[in-house]
């Protein structure tokens, strides 16, 4: 029997702007990564999304990003490790407060967008993020790219680490994600994405854009909740997992 953690970025609406379909997608996941107000989200949305996760018995994670709401946290910024430490601390603290007042527990932290990609390769940024988490709560779990500087930093400092892969993204020959600036960064065919997910879970490998099989460590799979077909994909993946005897790790 296989079990798998499915995570999704949530709480990305702010003000009058609605992003994603959190109310429905949360039925098909086991971990929610909640935006903390800098790249997306706001206090009201953070509070509502925490309540939603608790209601559905979904693990709550902080999803801190760079302070770039106009670029949705996907633009690289030249920040120092000290700044990374401070931004991470600020955002975890904000979400942690909403989790506490609603009677929940903060389970994990997953950096967002450009910060996630920077920490995957930049050891100093990765260490700063891991240190901030450890200082706040050493029982927090770090979600990071499989076999990256970020997961290495988390393991070295003593955090529980979950190696993450993306169901609907393509991979380079070195096991890194294809940059979103490339046309083939996303798997737009639903069946291809589901087949990739099943291969990841059962065989612990992924096929690169050049057809090379890459061994990859997998603890959690990410799906995206902000596309036009996100809900359909989430529900279809969920049904395929059930058919294959794969249970969500709630």
Each residue's pLDDT tens digit, 20-59: 999 999 999 999 999 999 999 999 999 999 999 999 999 9
C-alpha count within 13 angstroms, C-beta hemisphere, residue 183: 0
How large is the average pLDDT for residues 191-212?
95
The count of C-alpha atoms lying within 13 angstroms of the C-alpha of 90, restricted to the half-sphere facing its C-beta, is 12
Fold of 2-248: TIM Barrel (3.20.20)
Q: Taking 90 as the threshold, does the pLDDT of residue 133 lie above it?
A: yes
| Whole-number Å distance between alpha carbons of 235 and 129 | 33
1, pLDDT greater than 80: no
Provide the CA 84 distance to its chain's centre, in angstroms: 18
Contact 202, 2 (CB under 8 A): yes
- pLDDT reported for residue 142: 99
C-alpha–C-alpha distance, residues 85 and 133, integer Å: 9
d(CA 20, CA 8): 10
Tell me whether strands 220-223 and 160-166 are parallel, antiparallel or unpaired: parallel
User: 236 phi and psi, to 5 degrees?
Assistant: -65, -45
| pLDDT greater at residue 177 or residue 47 | 47
For residue 147, what pLDDT band results from cuts at 50, 70 and 90?
A: confident
Look at the chain and count its residues: 250
């Amino acid at each position: 029997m296989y079990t798998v953690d499915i995570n999704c970025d949530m709480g990305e609406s702010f003000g009058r702007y609605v992003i994603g379909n959190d109310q429905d997608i949360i039925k098909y996941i086991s971990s929610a990564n909640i935006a903390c107000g800098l790249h997306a989200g706001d206090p009201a949305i953070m509070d509502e999304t925490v309540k939603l996760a608790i209601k559905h018995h979904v693990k709550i994670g902080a999803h801190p990003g760079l302070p770039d709401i106009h670029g949705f946290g996907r633009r690289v910024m030249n920040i120092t490790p000290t700044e990374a430490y401070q931004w991470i601390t600020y955002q975890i603290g904000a979400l942690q407060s909403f989790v506490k007042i609603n009677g929940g527990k903060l389970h994990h932290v997953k950096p967002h967008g450009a910060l996630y990609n920077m920490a995957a390769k930049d050891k100093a940024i990765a260490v700063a993020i891991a240190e901030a988490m450890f200082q706040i709560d050493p029982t927090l779990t770090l979600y990071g790219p499989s076999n990256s500087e970020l997961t290495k930093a988390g393991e070295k400092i003593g955090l529980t680490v979950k190696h993450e892969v993306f169901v609907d993204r393509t991979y380079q020959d070195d096991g890194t994600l294809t940059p979103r600036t490339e046309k083939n960064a996303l798997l737009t065919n639903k069946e291809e994405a589901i087949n990739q997910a099943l291969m990841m879970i059962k065989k612990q490998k992924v096929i690169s854009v050049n057809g090379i099989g890459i061994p990859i460590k997998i603890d959690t799979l990410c799906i995206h909740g902000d596309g036009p077909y996100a809900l359909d994909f989430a529900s279809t993946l969920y049904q395929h997992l059930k058919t294959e005897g794969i249970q969500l790790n709630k």
